[in-house]
Amino acid sequence: MYPFVYKSLPLRIVFGEGTSARLAEEADLLAIRRALVLTTPGHEQLGRAMAGRLGDRFAGLFAGAVMHTPVGVTEDALKRAADLKADGVIAVGGGSTVGLGKAIALRTGLPQIAIPTTYAGSEMTPILGETQNGVKTTRSSPEIMPRTVIYDVDLTLSLPVRVATVSGMNALAHSVEALDAKDRNPVVSLMAADAIRAIVSALPDIARTPDDVNARSLALYGAWLSGLCLGSVGMALHHKLCHVLGGTFNLPHAETHAIVLPHAMAYNSVAVPDVEKQIAEILGAHGAASALHDLAHRLGIPASLREIGMPEAGIDRAAELAIANPYWNPRPLERGDIRELIARAWAGEQPLVDS
């Protein structure tokens, strides 16, 4: 048995069907009396529905959250919070909205409640990624964490299949990387393996039968565990690449994770053969990287970074940024190999596993 340190995250989880009806009760537990509700422009109606559940605890709505948490948007939301004298924030939506809630909490100390509607998992992490001047940076602090997370399966039933599948692959990436993290431990590894099983079982069912409540529930459960894994151990090559690609080229977050995941798994396979074997067994395949690639293809997820807007001219720039201030990784990062990885992901080619 390898030596390890395990530290649990201090937060409250409310999971089930219809659980968002308990929002006012959960706000009271945090002594929130003037709540600022956060959404993206597309989720404004849902934000107003949650405002109705808050009753007189609702102070106002900010429906301006966007991908990659631009600092300028955060500054606008902070002004809105100050004008309303808000004493808490309620983030309703996916990773973009949760990220904005985290950014506000970090700067103000306000308690936050997250109500995720996708499988992004960021609500379970003390990590904030922000973009400014085309560069995405991350930082970690306990103040970033939501105090309460309400998982309501009912809110995911309207999530389009395309969004559900790419969001699920994003969550899957968190668990896959947790298994070979530098600070992995037996508890997180058990959660990661269970999350992978749940997600790979649920996503094909959602693709076939979008209103399958059991599949949606299983996917949300897997996303919760995946986010918890991401928040408990360090990140490596996969997340470094996705942060670079997303922040530099403004690529859609979940699609970037889904496309990069098999290639990052292939790159690291030679350094973590035990993890590669474990994931392959869970997927019922001979190779983890090819199985992840094939799963994404069966789910109809874009196969290449080119399809989601990355310019071919950006491959070299991405490779340079990926090896600058790199995260720890089980396999050393070599510029030529990283460039080839990115080029293959850009072209949508099969992941290359070194022998």
What mean pLDDT is predicted for residues 310-320? Answer: 97
What are the tens digits of pLDDT across the range 114-158?
Answer: 999 999 888 998 889 898 887 888 888 888 999 999 999 999 999
The pLDDT value recorded for residue 204 is: 97
The answer to whether the 12-156 and 161-347 domains have the same CATH topology is no
Listed residue (328, 6, 2, 3) closest to 188, CA to CA: 6
The pLDDT value recorded for residue 219 is: 97
| Strand-pair partners of 136 | 131
What mean pLDDT is predicted for residues 318-333? Answer: 93
Amino acid at 73: V
The least confident of 2-6, 44-48, 55-59, 81-85 is 2-6
Q: What is the mean pLDDT of the chain?
A: 94
Which CATH code, of 3.40.309.10, 3.40.50.300, 3.20.20.210, 3.40.50.1970, is assigned to 12-156?
A: 3.40.50.1970
What are the tens digits of pLDDT across the range 169-197?
Answer: 999 999 999 999 999 999 999 999 999 99
Boundaries of every domain in the chain = 12-156, 161-347
The pLDDT value recorded for residue 166 is: 95
Strand, coil or helix: 37: strand
Write the secondary structure of 229-262 as one string of H (helix), E (strand) and C (coil). HHHHCCCCHHHHHHHHHHHHHCCCHHHHHHHHHH
In the block, tokens 């004298």 appear at 85
The answer on pLDDT for 167 being more than 90 is: yes
The answer on pLDDT for 220 being more than 80 is: yes
Which CATH code, of 1.20.1090.10, 2.30.110.10, 3.40.50.80, 1.10.3720.10, is assigned to 161-347?
A: 1.20.1090.10
List the structure tokens of 157: 């039933």
* Segment holding 149, helix H or strand E: strand 148-152
List the structure tokens of 128: 């904030």
The least confident of 139-143, 240-244, 245-249, 333-337 is 139-143
